[in-house]
Amino acid sequence: MNQGQRDQARDPSFNNVELVTTDVSGREKTYSLTLRDTSGRGLGAMYIGKEALNPKSDYRLRDSGGGEQKVHIVWTKQVADFVLMLGMEIAES
């Protein structure tokens, strides 16, 4: 699919969430993200920070109420120093 065209409507809304993973020692690692938009299959977000996000890692998205869902990072794009845009898809359970 062409990234410039989407087959589903996107809901633009800005929410702060945490991207959660586990480091090699088994400790939980969290990254603060701002969700930019959502659709039935995916999420667009912005991450500001110095650490790189590995698309091959397992991630969960945690909302402010503590709810979580598994996600995969599909693409990333560096748009400025320490600013990363990313596209994620909701993982099958």
Q: Is residue 61, in this structure, part of any structural domain at all? A: yes
Give the number of domains in the chain. 1
Q: Is residue 38, in this structure, part of any structural domain at all? A: yes
DSSP-based three-state secondary structure for 38: strand
Q: Cα–Cα–Cα angle for 35, 76, 52, nearest 5°?
A: 95
Residue 61 maps to which CATH number?
2.40.10.220
Q: Is the pTM of this model over 0.85?
A: no
Both structure tokens of 11: 């809901």
pLDDT, one tens digit per residue, over 3-57 is 444 555 655 678 899 999 998 899 999 999 999 988 877 899 999 999 989 999 9
For residues 14 and 3, what is the distance between their CA atoms, to the nearest angstrom?
21
For residue 53, the enclosing domain spans 11-90
19: number of CA atoms within 13 Å, CB side?
Answer: 29
